[in-house]
Amino acid sequence: MTVALLIQGGALAVKREDFKTCEQAAFCRRHRAFADAVVQSSQVLPKTDSSNNMSIPQPASLYSVSNNTVHLDGHTLRATVSHDTEKVPLKLEILFLANGIVRMRMQEETPFLARFDETQKHVLRDEGSALEYASPDAIEHTSETVDGTTVHTVRYNNNGSEFGVRIVENPWSLAYLHGSKPVIELNHNGFFRFEHLRQKPSADEPSDVDGGWEETFRSWTDTKPRGPESFGMDIRFSGFEHVYGIPEHSSSLSLKTTRDDKEGYSEPYRMWNLDVFEYELDSPMALYGSVPFMVAHNPDSTVGVFWMNAAETWVDVTRDKSNAFSNLLRLAGGSSKEHAVNTHWISESGLMDIFLLPGKSVADLYKQYSTLVEPTRLPRDFALGYHQCRWNYIDQDDVLAVSEKMHEHDIPYDSIWLDIEYTDGKRYFTWDSSKFPDPVSMQNQLSHDGHKLVTVIDPHIKHDTAYSVWKEGNELGYFVKNKDRTGNFQGWCWPGESSWVDYLKPGAMDWTAKQYHLDKFNGSTTDLFIWNDMNEPSIFNGPEITMEKDIKHYGDWEHRDLHNINGMLYNKATYDGLCTRESPSKRPFILSRSYYAGSQRYGAIWTGDNAANWESLRVSVPMVLSNNIAGMHFAGADVGGFFGNPEKELLVRWYQLGIWHPFFRAHAHIDTKRREPWVFGEPYLSIMRDAVRERYRMLPYWYTLFREASLTGMPIVRPMWVEFPKQTDLFAEQSIFMVGSSIMVVPAMDSDMSKPLDVSFPLQENWYDIHTHSLYLAPLKRQFTVDLEHTLVFARGGSIIPTRERQRRSSVLMKHDPFTLYVYMSRNGTAAGKLYVDDGESFDYENGAFIERKLSFANAKLTSRASPQTIESPEQKAFLENMKSVRVERLVIVGLRNQLTKAVVSENGKQREVELEYRGSSADRECVVRDPAVLIGNDWDITFS
């Protein structure tokens, strides 16, 4: 009862003692202490060569570039970096990519042991083979002496854009230049430190590194057989006040300072994928996913850093002019009068592999990032609909009853989900036959109305010699081994004692993929899709609820080296399995809790086990936005909150917000009360039904946004600064956001309905309430009081938004429905948009089987033209034939300057007049064409007069 009351009241509390602080992680403790020592010992201000206005930082770094080792070799600048006293030279490689990205790699020139370098194989696009490097002929390398030290500058051009990098030899530092101005600076403050691999001291010798050879946390001892191998680097964003990204944390959108700031944190942001039960809010604690991609933005430029390392990583953030630590930094390393964000990145193992992304625009930055890790792939269309889930729907009858209730109350939905209780004793790829006697029949009944089934498949495999999956995996040697490799590692999770697949072992990923095939997963059909949960991995009897770091994987690599990509490797196996279970292949749908950069290729993610309280509702916005900033576009939060029982008003508000997140799923803990939309009765049922229907109306817009993201890498839901990059008052805004470039969402997230919402309408724009079409002329600040039935969502003037207005039971049943186009006028009487349609399930779109239209309104004419991406092919021809009758059934033009009385359609060389209704100033000069009947696959014009 006490626990239930705590959950209901929102007083969730993580067991903080189960998870490390930086002080309890020896390598983080060492690097933070090193940074403190550097700051305290550095007293020299930067020197300036007045002849060229070049500022050279002078931190107390012990690292420098060795004499006469810098040379340009094709697209790579190579050098040797040495420590003043540790005589282990480091190999520095700086690689120049054609699009302006600079890649910096560092490790020992002659490693005592090999370092883990397989992260790139699993993260980079096409395992790194697709990276396009700059032409050596376009690269210019010059050297000069400034204040007694050698400075190297590399400049190169690509399609008229100039990029530059400056390397200072002593002390060693690197700066990425916009023109002559440094924007990203490495080792500016002298925090660079590289712990070289070495021989272990003998038993009678003192340890040479604090916690370097053994470390104990609670009852677990990490034996650290390789010894200390961590490294750290300070990265400074000069001229910036705000940095974003590095999910996943329950934190603010603009990252907070982490040192000596009362308004910030005392701990660094941590990236170490963990199952954190009842995670705390407003915290830099590690959660389920890690994407070490940070973005800095100011009114003039947007830049980024991708720190590609799968080991445990901590990031400190400080700002110049913000606190005592930053004041010391300015004394130590120097600063100009402009703002700067100083970050300190620390990783436990692997090698240093950093990508510097120059931007300069937001679109440039995401195009660059997508060339590295690949953008989000187009999902199955049903995945954008409403997902109904709880732990657990009891049995087959319960599933079908919930589905029928959805139909009874006219609530569209696309999938219903089963958590772990559907299995035979937590043995995945099986069914509890007493509860689900005929799962194929159940799936067929669901699919009759276009619905899918999603089942959870976790990575732990029950240790049971009679369980065919465990037996086969064990016989093939595919499981992760224990520390001395004498047997399988055994841990405890939902089934009890379990084994985990080693995805580095050749053949293991293919074997895992085959478990999803219809002949292996008995009772499954091609209408069943997968939820990968607990894949951090979560291990109940492990340190920090995960796998011990010194557990061995194939190749004698320790788990510490690859932990953060472990969940993604499992997702890839699942993805491959669903792709190959039928021929021709169809697009999978997978939800994953754990993720890393690259996971966006395989499916959706969510913010994990949140709580049914208003605070969790509010923090879901910056969490989903931060994931989108880091390229994890298909993201959402459990609607209603996983833990606890939401009050009626909270549940309504969560639905009203959830429909504007890319992934839209209601979910609940097994101990919570039922909370499907009809449970609370009226008026709550009608309000939630209206919200879900709003989602389905907007599915054409959502699918078109996913198409854009798949081509450009642009976020789908966007912080306001992404669309309004020069409006500084929006740089920290996290309670209002954009969906694509056309829709602004102002969610109501407070229990007090009388509390007004402040809305700032940006720039010289027209903004329209999408429900009433009321016009708001920006720049404008307004307060709105919003009752439970209403929401604040605004269309941006100059947008054309496609919808489908006919309500069906599922999105599958909408495939041939006609479209409505909403044209929201800009101040100059123009508008533009896109519509993208494909079959929503196959990969034929890769060969041209799609319709993509550029829509524009200008000079009283609406036009539709094929996009430049259109591909003529047999697949395209077949798709056009399939969609030949799909038309635009309604056209709504909002914000007209003058009355319209006539509309003439031109299509296929013929003209015809269509019915037009002008509603006048009472409806903000709205014009409706009831059935222009133009086909979406054709070029056409509609001229108004």
| Span 502-518, pLDDT tens digits | 999 999 999 999 999 99
Beta bridge mates, 599: none
The two structure tokens encoding residue 684: 């709550």
User: What is the pairing mode between strands 54-56 and 775-777?
Assistant: unpaired
374-418 confidence digits (pLDDT tens): 999 999 999 999 999 999 999 999 999 999 999 999 999 999 999
Contact call for residues 270 and 314 (beta carbons, < 8 A): yes
% residues pLDDT > 90 (the chain): 89
Positive or negative torsion for Cα 903, 908, 910, 912? negative
pTM for this entry: 0.95
Compute the average pLDDT of residues 590-619: 98
Find the mean pLDDT for residues 542-555. 97
Per-residue pLDDT band at 596 (split at 50, 70, 90): very high
Residue type at 715? P
pLDDT score at 59 = 55
| CA dist., res. 480 & res. 474, Å (int) | 10
pLDDT of 427 > 90? The answer is yes
pLDDT band at residue 899 using 50, 70 and 90 as cut-offs:
confident
List, as one string, the DSSP characters of 649-718.
HHHHHHHHHHTTSSSEEE---TTSPP--TTTT-TTHHHHHHHHHHHHHHTHHHHHHHHHHHHHH---SEE
921 confidence band (pLDDT: 50, 70, 90): low
| pLDDT at residue 920, as a whole number | 67
Tell me the backbone φ, ψ of residue 640, rounded to 5 degrees.
Answer: 95, -20
Spatial distance between the Cα atoms of 29 and 115, rounded to a whole number of angstroms: 22
Amino acid 437: pLDDT: 98
Cα–Cα distance list, 534 to 276, 531, 546, 547, 764 (Å): 11, 10, 10, 12, 47
Mean pLDDT of 840-855: 98
Q: Tell me if residue 728 falls in helix, strand or coil.
A: helix
pLDDT bucket at 922, cuts 50 / 70 / 90: low
Q: Is the pLDDT of residue 814 over 70?
A: yes
Q: What span, in angstroms and rounded, lies between the C-alpha atoms of 89 and 81?
A: 6
Q: How confident is the model at residue 326 (pLDDT cuts 50, 70, 90)?
A: low
The type of residue at 299 is P
φ/ψ region of 780 (left if φ > 0, alpha if ψ in -120 to 50, else beta) reads beta
Q: Residue 730: which pLDDT band, with cuts at 50, 70 and 90?
A: very high
Residue partners of 7: CB distance under 8 A and separation at least 6: 611, 612, 643, 644, 645
Task: Extract the tokens encoding 259.
Answer: 């040192």
Q: Are 546 and 534 in contact (CB under 8 A)?
A: no
Angle between the N-to-C axes of helices 699-712 and 684-697, in degrees from 0 to 180, rounded to the nearest 10:
50
Tokens of 424: 């035979």
Cα separation, 553 vs 489, in Å, equals 10
**Mean pLDDT rounded to a whole number for the chain:** 94
Whole-angstrom distance, CA of residue 474 vs CA of residue 497: 14
Pairing mode, strands 242-245 and 293-297: antiparallel
- Alpha helix ranges (H) inside 804-927: 874-882
Pull the structure tokens for residue 292. Answer: 């070490």
Inform me whether the pLDDT recorded for 252 exceeds 80: yes
Contact 943, 903 (CB under 8 A): yes
Q: At 337, is the pLDDT very low, low, confident or very high (cuts 50, 70, 90)? A: low
Question: How many Cβ atoms are within 10 Å of 64's Cβ, its own excluded?
Answer: 19
Check: CB of residue 317 under 8 Å from CB of residue 284.
no
What per-residue confidence (pLDDT) applies to 345? 98
**How do residues 774-808 score in pLDDT, each as one tens digit?**
999 999 999 999 999 999 999 999 999 999 999 99
* Positive or negative: CA dihedral 650, 651, 655, 660: positive
CA neighbours closer than 13 Å in the CB half-sphere of residue 227 = 14
What's the confidence (pLDDT) of residue 161?
78
Whole-number Å distance between alpha carbons of 532 and 419: 10
Looking at the DSSP assignment, which residues form a beta bridge with residue 157? 162
Task: Report the catalytic residues.
Answer: 533, 536, 609
Mean pLDDT of 224-232: 97
Task: Give every CB contact of residue 304 below 8 A, 6+ residues apart in sequence.
Answer: 245, 293, 294, 295, 296, 356, 357, 359, 365, 368, 369
What's residue 238's pLDDT?
A: 97
| Res. 632: pLDDT tops 70 | yes
User: Among all chains, which residue has been given the structure tokens 């712990």?
Assistant: 195
- Name the band, by pLDDT with cuts 50, 70 and 90, for residue 149: very high
Condensed to tens digits (0 to 9), the pLDDT of residues 449-497 reads 999 999 999 999 999 999 999 999 999 999 999 998 899 999 999 999 9
Residue 906 has pLDDT above 70, yes or no: yes
pLDDT band at residue 52 under the 50/70/90 scheme: very low
Query: In the predicted model, is pLDDT for residue 45 greater than 50?
Result: no
60-90 tens-digit pLDDT: 678 999 999 999 999 999 999 999 998 899 9
DSSP annotation of 817: -
Looking at the chain, the whole-number percentage of residues with pLDDT higher than 70 is: 94
Beta strands in 785-886 (DSSP E): 792-796, 799-803, 819-824, 831-838, 850-858, 861-866
CA distance 562 to 309: 8
